Amino acid sequence: MGADLVWTWAGVAYVIDLAIRIVALGVVPRNRRPASGVAWLLAIVMIPYLGLVLFLLLGRTDIGRKRDARQRLANARVHEVAPTIPAATLPAGTPDYVHAAATLNTNLGSLPMRAGNRVELIPGYQQAIEAIAAEIDRARRFVHVQYYITAWDHATAPVYEALVRATERGVKVRLLVDHVGTSRIPGYRRFERTLNASGIEWYPMMPVRPLRGDFQRPDLRNHRKIVVVDGTVAFTGSQNLIEPSYGKPKHQKAGRRWVELVMRCEGPLVETLDVVFATDWLTETGEVLIDEIAIVPPERGEVCAQVIPSGPGVVAENNLRAFVTLIANARHRVSLVSPYFVPDESLLYAVTTAALRGVEVELFVSEGKEQFMVFHAQRSYYEELLRHGVRIWLYPEPFVLHTKCFTVDDDVAVIGSSNMDMRSFALNFEVSVLLTGGDVVAQTNQVIDGYRALSRELVLQEWLTRPLRHQYLDNVLRLTAALQ
């Protein structure tokens, strides 16, 4: 009797196992890039029950019914406002592919290219914090602040103290912080209590709080970094609002500090960055700000700039499409800076094909291991890049090169929050800015020249001699990068 029962349960388990695999074949690939579909199917075939649970938890870019409805409302408001925003006429001599990229970005994100901007790049970590604090102290109407990771610590105190002073002057201060990204920082509960007592109106973005009814795919994150002051000055880039070792004792002990790039801008670009903040504010709070903030700042400079919002709530992979378009049209040189370079097939082909066409292509990444899984997944691409002629520069330990930017020829620079990895293309809400005209490309290349001066070049012969165990680990974790 006992043996029969065992065989019965074994048969049931076999049927369930087989059913999971058969159903997965028809369900998993739907609306998913082939590499991602194959990776999920492999996980489900190898570990059916665990693979199914992981797929149900992580296999959909579902931001929740309420948030999805608000996101659609925000997108609709942007579509209404966008036609009233005057689009730039690009300077004479601008290459045709830049015009094409601007049209692509407008069709995807509804936000046009804006002329008349002044852009200053701030590569110094504390310098950027001090610059933001100084602008907040000049605020008279409102301050909008949005970060993936933030903390009120010794480095960021100038910003938070300036925000409190602004509220005391009657300035409206709104703050958005990514819930998961920020809650992992030591002292988060104290941070919450301090904010609640500060007079700052703040909300967590994409909160994962099942007991309070807040739940969506837990690894969908809002990765944007934006500060707007009075609709006249804005900041964006790669830097989070936290001390440069992220408050982690192990980083501080190792001397590990993040290297960042922030852009300060004046002119019409400020308005479009504020529109992106307003869409996220509406999504999290239900409050519509777009009409309130729709001021057109006066022209301040010669830079044309276009905001590229991307993420699960907008047309799929706006940033990836823009990046591929720009790199595929390069004629002389492409300089890429990305702490996490885990490309999909289209970006990998664009980069390697550019190198094979004779374009000088270089990639700047950190030498050290800051995030275990993405570090090894990224390394799995190095051999192919090197064999196709891409030069790889390794920024020295213990520093973490966290800047996200690239330049194409002397025509275009792109700066923002987006890495060149599958997570930033498909799972994170990101903001990037396409810049052309004036001296902005020269400014960006000057920053990249500084990175090159500090870095060492990785050559193919060295790379091929790395231990077999490292090669195996790199290749295994490359598969996990496709699980989207």
Q: Is residue 101 part of a domain?
A: no
1 has a pLDDT exceeding 60: no
pLDDT band of residue 482 (cuts 50, 70, 90) is low
18 has a pLDDT exceeding 90: no
Q: Which of 320, 302, 280 has the alpha carbon at shortest distance from 422?
A: 320
Domain of residue 164 covers 65-94+112-302
My answer on whether 325 and 298 are in the same domain is no
- What mean pLDDT comes out for the span 229-237? 96
Higher pLDDT residue, 358 or 19? 358
Average pLDDT value for the chain = 88
- Residue that finishes a domain, picked among 277, 302, 327: 302
- Residue that finishes a domain, picked among 302, 335, 369: 302
Q: Is residue 308 part of a domain?
A: no
Q: 289: which residues sit within 8 A by CB, 6+ positions away?
A: 277, 278, 281, 282
Q: What is the CATH number of the domain that holds 417?
A: 3.30.870.10
175 has a pLDDT exceeding 80: yes
Structure tokens at 338: 């990305």
Higher pLDDT residue, 91 or 215? 91
Q: 253: which residues sit within 8 A by CB, 6+ positions away?
A: none
Structure tokens at 273: 């960055």
My answer on whether 289 and 191 are in the same domain is yes
My answer on whether 137 and 279 are in the same domain is yes
Between the alpha carbon of residue 305 and those of residues 69, 89, 441, the distances in Å are 30, 11, 12
Least confident segment among 20-34, 99-113, 188-202, 451-465: 20-34
Q: Which of 179, 108, 6, 51 has the alpha carbon at shortest distance from 324?
A: 108
- What mean pLDDT comes out for the span 197-205? 95
My answer on whether 263 and 118 are in the same domain is yes
Q: 440: which residues sit within 8 A by CB, 6+ positions away?
A: 119, 121, 303, 413
- What mean pLDDT comes out for the span 467-483? 79
- Residue that finishes a domain, picked among 40, 58, 76: 58
My answer on whether 407 and 424 are in the same domain is yes
My answer on whether 274 and 385 are in the same domain is no
Hunting for tokens 């950190």 — which residue is that?
Answer: 366
Q: 319: which residues sit within 8 A by CB, 6+ positions away?
A: 308, 310, 416, 418, 424, 425, 430, 432
Hunting for tokens 């194959």 — which residue is that?
Answer: 38
CB-CB neighbours of 337 under 10 Å:
27
In b/e form, how buried is each residue of 85-106, taking b as 16+ CB within 10 angstroms?
bebbebeeebbebbeebbebbb
What angle in degrees, to the nearest 10, is found between the helix axes of 318-328 and 345-356?
10
Cis bond before residue 398 (omega within 30° of 0): yes
Q: What is the pLDDT of residue 238?
A: 98
pLDDT tens column, 36-49: 666 667 777 777 77
Higher pLDDT residue, 481 or 319? 319
My answer on whether 54 and 79 are in the same domain is no
Least confident segment among 1-10, 75-84, 275-284, 288-297: 1-10
- What mean pLDDT comes out for the span 6-23? 69
260 has a pLDDT exceeding 80: yes
User: How far is residue 205's CA from residue 53's CA, in Å, rounded to a whole number?
Assistant: 25
Q: What is the pLDDT of residue 46?
A: 73
User: How far is residue 231's CA from residue 123's CA, in Å, rounded to a whole number?
Assistant: 23
Q: What is the pLDDT of residue 273?
A: 95
Q: Is residue 99 part of a domain?
A: no
My answer on whether 157 and 37 are in the same domain is no
Q: Round to the nearest angstrom and report the end-to-end CA distance of the chain.
A: 45
